[in-house]
């Protein structure tokens, strides 16, 4: 059984450039707006799944602050958080974005079909560390065969007691 796990660890990296991705989205949606581009760019550059708020912060930081030299025009206003939620919802319907997990601060989103890692959180101290590349591919394959579903994705999060916190346990 562990052989399955080892086999699943060498992941195919499907590299689609941001421009290719945007072109694909342009064909799929009625309007390729500034907000949609910003959300896709944020997710494209992300090293791990992001919450809507993290996407918002990422976009806001990428925009010039208002100074006497750079006046407050519509170009340098951040995208409203509600617009980010609506764009994520639309991109989800197109299967271009997926909810990967529900963290303590809300859902985390990522581009579909990207190699990704999962994390484990200590329920006692809150420490969150990587458990490495996703090992769910074979399980999803199995589910696809068994159920006939397509576009299968998963929401996963692990919890436990980290090495520093292992004591006072009532369980086996």
Partner DNA sequence: TTTGCTATTGCAAGTAGATTGCAGTAATTT
Partner DNA sequence: AAATTACTGCAATCTACTTGCAATAGCAAA
Using CB under 5 A, list all residues that contact Zn ion.
Answer: 122, 124-125, 127, 162, 165
From residue 150 to residue 169, the character string flagging contacts with its own copies as x (rule: CB under 8 A) and all else as - is xxxxxxxxxxxxxx--x--x
Residue that has been written with the tokens 């436990």 in this structure: 160
Query: Which residues lie closer than 8 Å to 100 by C-beta, 6 or more apart?
Result: 49, 108, 109, 110, 116, 153, 154, 155, 156
Q: Does 48 bind its own copies (CB under 8 A)?
A: no
CA nearest neighbour of 96 among 75, 116, 113, 77? 113
Show the CA angle centred on residue 158, arms to residues 15 and 97, nearest 5°: 35
125 binds, among Zn ion, its own copies, DNA, none (CB under 5 to 8 A by kind): Zn ion
Query: Which residues lie closer than 8 Å to 38 by C-beta, 6 or more apart?
Result: 59, 62, 79
42 phi, psi to nearest 5 deg: -60, -45
User: From the CB of 161, what's the least distance to DNA, in Å?
Assistant: 19
Residue 24: both structure tokens together: 């694909």
Question: Of 10-18, 34-42, 71-79, 136-144, which part binds Mn ion (CB under 5 A)?
Answer: 136-144
Binding residue (CB under 7 A) for DNA from 24, 86, 154, 157: 86
Binding residue (CB under 7 A) for DNA from 83, 97, 98, 100: 83
Q: What residues between 95 and 114 interact with its own copies by CB under 8 A?
A: 95-96, 98-99, 101-102, 112-113
Measured CA to CA, the distance from residue 99 to residue 107 in angstroms comes to 6
30 binds, among its own copies, Mn ion, DNA, none (CB under 5 to 8 A by kind): DNA
Say if residues 165 and 125 touch (Cβ distance below 8 Å).
Answer: yes
User: From the CB of 96, what's the least distance to its own copies, in Å?
Assistant: 6
Binding residue (CB under 5 A) for Mn ion from 111, 120, 136, 162: 136
Binding site for DNA (CB under 7 A): 26, 29-36, 51-53, 74, 77, 79-83, 85-87, 89-90, 102, 105-107
């Amino acid at each position: 059984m562990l052989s399955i796990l080892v086999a699943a660890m060498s992941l195919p990296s499907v590299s689609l450039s941001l421009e290719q991705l945007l072109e694909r989205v342009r064909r799929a949606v009625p309007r390729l707006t500034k907000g949609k581009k910003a959300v896709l760019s944020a997710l494209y550059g992300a090293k791990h799944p992001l919450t809507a708020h993290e996407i918002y912060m990422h976009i806001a930081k990428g925009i010039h602050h208002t100074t006497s030299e750079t006046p407050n025009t519509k170009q340098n206003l951040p995208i409203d958080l509600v617009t980010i939620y609506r764009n994520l919802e639309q991109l989800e319907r197109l299967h271009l974005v997926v909810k990967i997990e529900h963290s303590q601060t809300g859902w985390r989103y990522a581009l579909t079909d990207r190699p990704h890692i999962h994390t484990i959180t200590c329920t006692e101290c809150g420490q969150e560390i990587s458990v490495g590349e996703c090992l769910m591919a074979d399980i999803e394959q199995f589910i696809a065969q068994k159920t006939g579903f397509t576009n299968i994705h998963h929401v996963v999060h692990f919890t436990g007691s980290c090495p520093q916190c292992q004591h006072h346990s009532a369980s086996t």
